[in-house]
Structure 1
């Protein structure tokens, strides 16, 4: 058998938001799998992050009030933009060669009775 897996490196830009720093970071990293699947038409075996570079990290702070005057509280939202270098192990479908075999229709219905059985039921 021949080796069919191929390793490729790719840089993917993802962004995430959250109410805490770690939630924003986790939200961004969870998007890597979907981005790779959208770009590749091959079978993905493994996605391994190699390096993470922070392009932008922002903290938004605002004061929230109930009925415009009561119970003021400070709210914080975090936003991160990351460049993630990943090593992708995949099977390229274009390089695979399939043997072609002609077979009978696997979805065909075999008839449960033949000519002889029909005659016996009539008699």
Structure 2
């Protein structure tokens, strides 16, 4: 009978995202979740599922940009969000996996032809 080797845990991860548009700021923040979880855990991650997303801070920064300090002024907008994301992480518990030891030939092993095997054994004696 197979035993269950996966475990599910919930955790809160805080990420920050920036972008020229609102949806880019959110996407940048959410794309950081996978990397942050992999840094924290040594287990094999099977699935990461966001359950709840809370906006801690959402900022809109505006400034006027000018070409050569005088010409063609335009207003630039940048968005920044700070998110608390509750995720459910399904991982594989490596301590629960039993590996069976199996002896095999080395990968660099070169098989000898049959006619050389007898003379090779005699040379070793």
TM range (shorter): 0.7 to 0.9
Q: Give the Å deviation of 1:117.
A: 9.8
Hey, which bits of structure 1, 4+ residues long, moved more than 6 A? none
Q: TM-score, normalised by structure 2?
A: 0.85
CA change 1:101–1:17 in 2 (3 A) is same
Question: 5+ unaligned residues in a row in structure 2: which ranges?
Answer: 120-125
Q: TM-score, normalised by structure 1?
A: 0.86
Question: SS at the partner of 2:31?
Answer: helix
Give the structure 2 partner of residue 111 of structure 1: 112
CA change 1:109–1:82 in 2 (3 A) is same
**Is 1:5 aligned to residue 3 of structure 2?**
no
Aligned residues: 118
What is the rounded CA distance, in whole Å, between the counterparts of 1:33 and 1:10 in structure 2? 13
What is the rounded CA distance, in whole Å, between the counterparts of 2:60 and 2:87 in structure 1? 27
RMSD: 2.0
Q: Give the Å deviation of 1:37.
A: 1.2
What is the rounded CA distance, in whole Å, between the counterparts of 1:96 and 1:103 in structure 2? 21
